[in-house]
Structure 1
Amino acid sequence: MKDCVFCNPSLEPKQNVIMSNDYCMFLLLEQAQIEGNQLEGAGLIVPREHRETAFDLTIEEWKATYSLLQDVKRYLDEKCHPHGYNLGWNCGEVGGQHIFHSHFHVIPRYSDEPLAGKGIRYMFKSSENRRKNS
C-alpha cells in the first residue's frame, strides 16, 4: 500500500503522529492543532497494518485501539479541554468512508459550537435523509 496516507503517514506532510503503540497510531492534521479551530483536537486512530474497515481489525488491533483511545482522551482533555466527544467509524463508500484504510474518528466537542448537543445521529434523523421507500 505505497500510496496509502495511513500506511505511510509521511505522504501527508500536514499530518502528525501524536502518539502510538505497537498496533496503531493517533494522527492529527496541523489545522486540528490550532486552538479555537472548528475541529480543534479532532484526529484519527489508525491501525499500522492496512485494514480496509473496522470489520477487518484483529483482536489485538481492537485492544490496542481501545488502549490508545484512553491515552488520546487524557491528552486531549489536558490540551484542548473539550466538553464532550463524538467517536466513530465510517465503513464503506455508502457509510461515508473516503480513505479505504480503517480509521477511528476522535472528535472533541465544545459547548460554544453552533451544533453543540447534536450527536452523530443528528444528520441521519433529518428529513433530508429520508429514504425513498419510507
Structure 2
Amino acid sequence: MTTEILLRYLHFISIFAIVGSLVSEHLLLKKTMTRKEIKKIAIIDGVYGMAALTLLAVGLTLWLGGYGKPTVFYSLNFIFHIKITLFATIGILSIYPTVFFIKNRKGDHEEVVAIPKSIFMLLRLELLILFIIPLLAGLMAKGIGHFG
C-alpha cells in the first residue's frame, strides 16, 4: 500500500513538472534570444526530460507491477492506449526543440540566435496534446474504454 501511494505521488508530481516546464519554455521563448537565455530554456528542458522519464518509469511500474488496479484494467482499455500514444507523440515532438536548445546554448552568451517558428509550433502542439491526456485519464478511471 505504501509503495503504491509513493508511486502515484511520483506520477502526479512528474505530471506537474512536465506541465510547468513546458509552460515555462513557451513563456520564455522569443523570436530571437541570446545564448544565455537559450541556456536557461535548455535547463528547463532538462527538467522536462527528467520528469518525462520519471513519469514513464513510474507509469510502467504502476501498470505492469501490479500496484493498484490489475494490469488487465489498463491493457484492455483503448483510452489507455490512446493516452500512451499521445504521451509518446509528445516525446517525439520534443526531440527537435531539445536538440536545438542543446546545440545553441553554448558560445558567446550575448550572441543573438533566431528561434525557428517550428519550435513555437511544436511546443504549442505538445501543450495541446498534454492537456488532452488528463481528460482521457478521467474517462479511464470511470471504466470508459474497457474492451475486455
TM normalised by structure 1 equals 0.30
Bigger relative contact order (CA 8 A; separation at least 6): 2
The structure in which a higher percent of residues are strand is: 1
